[in-house]
Structure 1
Amino acid sequence: MKTIIAMFVFLGSVFASELPEEFDRLLYDKGEKVFENKCMECHQKSMPIPLLMKNFIEENNKLLNLKAPTGNEISFRLKQQIGSRDDMEFHLHQTEDFLKDYLYNPDLSKTICLEGVIRHFEVMPSMKGKISEEEISKVNHFLYFLEGFNGVNKFYHDETKF
Protein backbone atom coordinates (compact mmCIF):
# COMPACT_ATOMS: atom_id res chain seq x y z
CA MET A 1 0.00 0.00 0.00
CA LYS A 2 2.80 2.42 0.91
CA THR A 3 4.47 1.63 -2.41
CA ILE A 4 1.32 2.55 -4.33
CA ILE A 5 0.91 5.82 -2.43
CA ALA A 6 4.58 6.66 -2.95
CA MET A 7 4.19 5.97 -6.67
CA PHE A 8 1.21 8.33 -6.93
CA VAL A 9 3.04 11.05 -5.02
CA PHE A 10 6.07 10.64 -7.30
CA LEU A 11 3.99 10.68 -10.49
CA GLY A 12 2.02 13.68 -9.24
CA SER A 13 5.20 15.61 -8.57
CA VAL A 14 6.62 14.70 -12.00
CA PHE A 15 3.52 15.92 -13.83
CA ALA A 16 3.12 18.98 -11.61
CA SER A 17 6.71 19.98 -12.30
CA GLU A 18 5.90 20.28 -16.03
CA LEU A 19 3.74 23.30 -15.28
CA PRO A 20 5.47 26.65 -14.94
CA GLU A 21 5.55 28.04 -11.41
CA GLU A 22 3.71 31.15 -12.68
CA PHE A 23 0.66 29.04 -13.47
CA ASP A 24 -2.15 29.47 -10.92
CA ARG A 25 -5.03 27.01 -11.44
CA LEU A 26 -7.51 29.09 -9.40
CA LEU A 27 -6.68 32.27 -11.34
CA TYR A 28 -6.86 30.33 -14.61
CA ASP A 29 -10.33 29.00 -13.72
CA LYS A 30 -11.53 32.48 -12.72
CA GLY A 31 -10.16 33.88 -15.97
CA GLU A 32 -11.94 31.18 -17.93
CA LYS A 33 -15.23 32.15 -16.27
CA VAL A 34 -14.66 35.82 -17.15
CA PHE A 35 -13.83 34.81 -20.73
CA GLU A 36 -17.02 32.73 -20.92
CA ASN A 37 -19.16 35.57 -19.52
CA LYS A 38 -17.56 38.58 -21.23
CA CYS A 39 -15.78 37.36 -24.37
CA MET A 40 -17.56 34.33 -25.79
CA GLU A 41 -20.30 36.40 -27.37
CA CYS A 42 -17.71 36.95 -30.12
CA HIS A 43 -14.66 34.76 -29.36
CA GLN A 44 -14.79 30.97 -29.32
CA LYS A 45 -12.52 29.45 -26.69
CA SER A 46 -10.48 27.14 -28.88
CA MET A 47 -10.49 25.29 -32.17
CA PRO A 48 -7.91 23.05 -33.80
CA ILE A 49 -5.29 25.08 -35.66
CA PRO A 50 -5.57 23.06 -38.91
CA LEU A 51 -9.34 23.73 -38.95
CA LEU A 52 -8.76 27.45 -38.36
CA MET A 53 -6.16 27.59 -41.13
CA LYS A 54 -8.56 25.86 -43.54
CA ASN A 55 -11.33 28.26 -42.51
CA PHE A 56 -9.30 31.41 -43.08
CA ILE A 57 -6.95 30.43 -45.91
CA GLU A 58 -9.08 28.12 -48.05
CA GLU A 59 -12.64 29.00 -47.10
CA ASN A 60 -12.49 32.79 -46.50
CA ASN A 61 -14.13 32.29 -43.06
CA LYS A 62 -17.20 30.75 -44.72
CA LEU A 63 -16.63 27.35 -43.12
CA LEU A 64 -16.90 28.56 -39.49
CA ASN A 65 -18.25 32.10 -39.91
CA LEU A 66 -16.33 33.26 -36.85
CA LYS A 67 -17.06 36.71 -35.42
CA ALA A 68 -13.57 37.16 -33.96
CA PRO A 69 -10.29 35.29 -33.44
CA THR A 70 -10.49 32.32 -31.10
CA GLY A 71 -9.00 32.33 -27.61
CA ASN A 72 -6.25 29.89 -28.60
CA GLU A 73 -5.29 32.11 -31.57
CA ILE A 74 -5.10 35.11 -29.26
CA SER A 75 -3.14 33.11 -26.69
CA PHE A 76 -0.56 32.01 -29.22
CA ARG A 77 -0.19 35.49 -30.74
CA LEU A 78 0.03 37.22 -27.34
CA LYS A 79 3.00 35.09 -26.42
CA GLN A 80 4.62 35.50 -29.84
CA GLN A 81 4.02 39.20 -30.45
CA ILE A 82 4.06 40.93 -27.06
CA GLY A 83 7.21 41.47 -25.02
CA SER A 84 9.91 38.94 -24.27
CA ARG A 85 9.39 35.33 -23.27
CA ASP A 86 12.70 35.23 -21.39
CA ASP A 87 11.00 35.94 -18.05
CA MET A 88 7.50 34.47 -17.82
CA GLU A 89 6.44 36.51 -14.79
CA PHE A 90 7.41 39.76 -16.53
CA HIS A 91 5.91 38.51 -19.80
CA LEU A 92 2.58 37.98 -18.04
CA HIS A 93 2.67 41.66 -16.98
CA GLN A 94 3.48 42.72 -20.55
CA THR A 95 0.59 40.73 -22.04
CA GLU A 96 -1.77 42.06 -19.36
CA ASP A 97 -0.75 45.66 -20.13
CA PHE A 98 -1.33 45.00 -23.82
CA LEU A 99 -4.79 43.50 -23.19
CA LYS A 100 -5.85 46.40 -20.96
CA ASP A 101 -4.82 48.90 -23.62
CA TYR A 102 -6.34 46.94 -26.50
CA LEU A 103 -9.63 46.12 -24.78
CA TYR A 104 -10.20 49.72 -23.70
CA ASN A 105 -8.77 51.36 -26.86
CA PRO A 106 -9.00 48.85 -29.71
CA ASP A 107 -7.29 49.86 -32.93
CA LEU A 108 -6.39 47.84 -36.00
CA SER A 109 -2.83 49.16 -35.83
CA LYS A 110 -2.40 47.36 -32.48
CA THR A 111 -3.58 43.96 -33.66
CA ILE A 112 -1.45 40.91 -32.92
CA CYS A 113 -3.40 38.61 -35.23
CA LEU A 114 -2.23 37.56 -38.65
CA GLU A 115 -3.45 39.60 -41.61
CA GLY A 116 -5.04 36.48 -43.13
CA VAL A 117 -7.17 36.14 -39.98
CA ILE A 118 -7.89 39.72 -38.97
CA ARG A 119 -9.06 40.79 -42.44
CA HIS A 120 -12.26 38.83 -41.80
CA PHE A 121 -13.25 40.95 -38.80
CA GLU A 122 -14.13 44.50 -37.85
CA VAL A 123 -12.17 46.14 -35.04
CA MET A 124 -13.79 45.10 -31.79
CA PRO A 125 -15.76 47.66 -29.79
CA SER A 126 -14.17 49.12 -26.69
CA MET A 127 -14.79 47.10 -23.55
CA LYS A 128 -14.33 50.15 -21.33
CA GLY A 129 -17.06 50.03 -18.68
CA LYS A 130 -17.85 46.40 -19.58
CA ILE A 131 -14.82 44.65 -18.11
CA SER A 132 -12.75 45.73 -15.12
CA GLU A 133 -8.95 45.78 -14.93
CA GLU A 134 -9.16 42.96 -12.38
CA GLU A 135 -11.23 40.88 -14.83
CA ILE A 136 -8.73 41.63 -17.61
CA SER A 137 -5.95 40.39 -15.34
CA LYS A 138 -7.82 37.12 -14.84
CA VAL A 139 -8.57 36.78 -18.57
CA ASN A 140 -4.91 37.44 -19.32
CA HIS A 141 -3.86 34.56 -17.06
CA PHE A 142 -6.41 32.30 -18.73
CA LEU A 143 -5.41 33.31 -22.27
CA TYR A 144 -1.69 33.13 -21.53
CA PHE A 145 -1.94 29.53 -20.38
CA LEU A 146 -4.76 28.47 -22.72
CA GLU A 147 -2.29 27.61 -25.45
CA GLY A 148 1.10 26.07 -25.06
CA PHE A 149 1.67 24.26 -21.76
CA ASN A 150 1.10 20.52 -21.43
CA GLY A 151 -1.22 19.46 -18.67
CA VAL A 152 -2.95 22.82 -18.16
CA ASN A 153 -6.03 22.28 -20.26
CA LYS A 154 -7.71 20.27 -22.99
CA PHE A 155 -6.90 22.93 -25.60
CA TYR A 156 -3.14 22.34 -25.61
CA HIS A 157 -1.35 22.33 -28.95
CA ASP A 158 2.39 21.84 -29.40
CA GLU A 159 3.73 25.30 -30.31
CA THR A 160 6.86 23.80 -31.83
CA LYS A 161 4.74 22.49 -34.72
CA PHE A 162 3.82 25.99 -35.93
Structure 2
Amino acid sequence: MIIRKLIIASLLLGCTTLLSASQEEAKALTTEKCAECHMIDSMTDTKGANGHIKAPPMWGVMRKIHENFKSKDEVVAFLIDYTMNPASEKMLFPKATEEYFGLMPSQKGKLTEEELALIAEYLYK
Protein backbone atom coordinates (compact mmCIF):
# COMPACT_ATOMS: atom_id res chain seq x y z
CA MET A 1 0.00 0.00 0.00
CA ILE A 2 2.82 2.41 0.87
CA ILE A 3 4.61 1.61 -2.38
CA ARG A 4 1.42 2.31 -4.32
CA LYS A 5 1.10 5.72 -2.63
CA LEU A 6 4.76 6.48 -3.38
CA ILE A 7 4.28 5.59 -7.03
CA ILE A 8 1.19 7.80 -7.30
CA ALA A 9 2.98 10.67 -5.54
CA SER A 10 5.97 10.28 -7.87
CA LEU A 11 3.72 10.36 -10.92
CA LEU A 12 1.95 13.48 -9.69
CA LEU A 13 5.24 15.21 -8.96
CA GLY A 14 6.47 14.24 -12.41
CA CYS A 15 3.38 15.77 -14.02
CA THR A 16 3.88 18.97 -12.04
CA THR A 17 7.49 19.14 -13.19
CA LEU A 18 6.44 18.64 -16.80
CA LEU A 19 3.78 21.31 -16.50
CA SER A 20 6.27 23.71 -14.94
CA ALA A 21 8.78 23.00 -17.71
CA SER A 22 6.08 23.65 -20.31
CA GLN A 23 5.11 26.91 -18.57
CA GLU A 24 8.76 27.94 -18.38
CA GLU A 25 9.17 27.20 -22.10
CA ALA A 26 6.05 29.24 -22.87
CA LYS A 27 7.28 32.14 -20.72
CA ALA A 28 10.68 32.06 -22.44
CA LEU A 29 9.04 31.99 -25.89
CA THR A 30 6.77 34.89 -24.94
CA THR A 31 9.73 36.92 -23.72
CA GLU A 32 11.87 36.03 -26.73
CA LYS A 33 9.28 36.35 -29.49
CA CYS A 34 6.51 38.68 -28.27
CA ALA A 35 8.37 41.14 -26.05
CA GLU A 36 10.32 42.35 -29.06
CA CYS A 37 7.27 44.51 -29.86
CA HIS A 38 4.68 44.03 -27.09
CA MET A 39 5.34 45.20 -23.57
CA ILE A 40 4.95 42.04 -21.51
CA ASP A 41 5.67 43.62 -18.15
CA SER A 42 6.87 46.99 -16.91
CA MET A 43 10.50 45.94 -17.41
CA THR A 44 10.16 45.24 -21.15
CA ASP A 45 11.67 47.89 -23.39
CA THR A 46 9.79 47.78 -26.69
CA LYS A 47 10.43 51.27 -27.98
CA GLY A 48 11.08 51.74 -31.66
CA ALA A 49 13.42 54.23 -33.29
CA ASN A 50 10.84 57.00 -32.78
CA GLY A 51 10.84 56.44 -29.01
CA HIS A 52 7.27 55.09 -28.99
CA ILE A 53 6.27 51.54 -28.15
CA LYS A 54 6.06 49.31 -31.25
CA ALA A 55 2.78 47.53 -30.47
CA PRO A 56 -0.02 47.56 -27.90
CA PRO A 57 1.03 46.15 -24.52
CA MET A 58 0.19 42.48 -24.12
CA TRP A 59 -2.23 43.11 -21.22
CA GLY A 60 -4.28 45.30 -23.59
CA VAL A 61 -4.16 42.71 -26.35
CA MET A 62 -5.33 39.98 -23.99
CA ARG A 63 -8.09 42.19 -22.56
CA LYS A 64 -9.48 42.74 -26.07
CA ILE A 65 -9.21 39.04 -26.87
CA HIS A 66 -11.03 38.06 -23.66
CA GLU A 67 -13.78 40.59 -24.47
CA ASN A 68 -14.35 38.90 -27.84
CA PHE A 69 -13.69 35.21 -27.17
CA LYS A 70 -14.97 33.26 -24.19
CA SER A 71 -13.30 29.86 -24.33
CA LYS A 72 -9.62 29.01 -24.11
CA ASP A 73 -9.86 27.12 -27.42
CA GLU A 74 -11.27 30.22 -29.16
CA VAL A 75 -8.52 32.41 -27.71
CA VAL A 76 -5.76 30.01 -28.77
CA ALA A 77 -7.25 29.61 -32.27
CA PHE A 78 -7.58 33.39 -32.71
CA LEU A 79 -4.04 34.10 -31.55
CA ILE A 80 -2.58 31.49 -33.88
CA ASP A 81 -4.65 32.68 -36.84
CA TYR A 82 -4.05 36.40 -36.30
CA THR A 83 -0.34 36.02 -35.59
CA MET A 84 0.23 33.95 -38.73
CA ASN A 85 -2.26 35.81 -40.96
CA PRO A 86 -2.85 39.33 -39.60
CA ALA A 87 -5.49 41.41 -41.37
CA SER A 88 -7.24 44.70 -40.66
CA GLU A 89 -10.64 43.02 -40.58
CA LYS A 90 -9.45 40.64 -37.83
CA MET A 91 -8.15 43.43 -35.58
CA LEU A 92 -9.96 43.74 -32.27
CA PHE A 93 -8.70 47.25 -31.54
CA PRO A 94 -10.21 50.45 -32.97
CA LYS A 95 -8.96 51.59 -36.40
CA ALA A 96 -6.90 54.32 -34.70
CA THR A 97 -4.75 51.62 -33.10
CA GLU A 98 -3.81 50.22 -36.50
CA GLU A 99 -3.13 53.73 -37.78
CA TYR A 100 -0.79 54.37 -34.84
CA PHE A 101 1.04 51.04 -34.68
CA GLY A 102 0.45 49.62 -38.14
CA LEU A 103 -0.69 46.08 -38.82
CA MET A 104 1.24 43.37 -37.03
CA PRO A 105 3.64 41.63 -39.42
CA SER A 106 2.99 37.94 -40.01
CA GLN A 107 5.09 35.67 -37.84
CA LYS A 108 5.16 32.85 -40.40
CA GLY A 109 8.64 31.38 -40.44
CA LYS A 110 9.44 32.98 -37.07
CA LEU A 111 7.13 30.86 -34.92
CA THR A 112 5.48 27.50 -35.38
CA GLU A 113 1.81 26.91 -34.63
CA GLU A 114 2.91 24.68 -31.74
CA GLU A 115 4.99 27.51 -30.25
CA LEU A 116 2.07 29.91 -30.71
CA ALA A 117 -0.26 27.48 -28.97
CA LEU A 118 2.13 27.34 -26.00
CA ILE A 119 2.34 31.14 -25.91
CA ALA A 120 -1.44 31.54 -26.25
CA GLU A 121 -2.14 29.09 -23.43
CA TYR A 122 0.45 30.85 -21.26
CA LEU A 123 -1.08 34.26 -21.95
CA TYR A 124 -4.64 32.97 -21.48
CA LYS A 125 -4.21 32.69 -17.72
Pick aligned residue for 1:119 from 90, 99, 105: 99
Contact 1:78 1:95 in 2 (8 A): yes
1:99 aligns with 2:79: yes
CA gap of 1:26–1:94, structure 2 versus 1, over 3 A, is farther
CA gap of 1:27–1:113, structure 2 versus 1, over 3 A, is farther
Aligned residues: 99
- Separation of aligned partners in 1, 2:41 and 2:98: 16
CA RMSD of aligned residues (A): 2.0
Q: Which moved more, 1:38-47 or 1:115-124?
A: 115-124
Partner of 2:67: 80
- Separation of aligned partners in 1, 2:116 and 2:74: 13
TM-score normalised by structure 1 residue count: 0.54
Q: How does 1:1-162 map to 2 (within 5 A)?
A: 26-47=21-42, 65-82=52-69, 84=70, 91-145=71-125
Structure 1 residue runs of 5 or longer lacking an equivalent are 1-23, 48-63, 85-90, 146-162
Structure 2 residue runs of 5 or longer lacking an equivalent are 1-18, 43-50
TM-score normalised by structure 2 residue count: 0.69
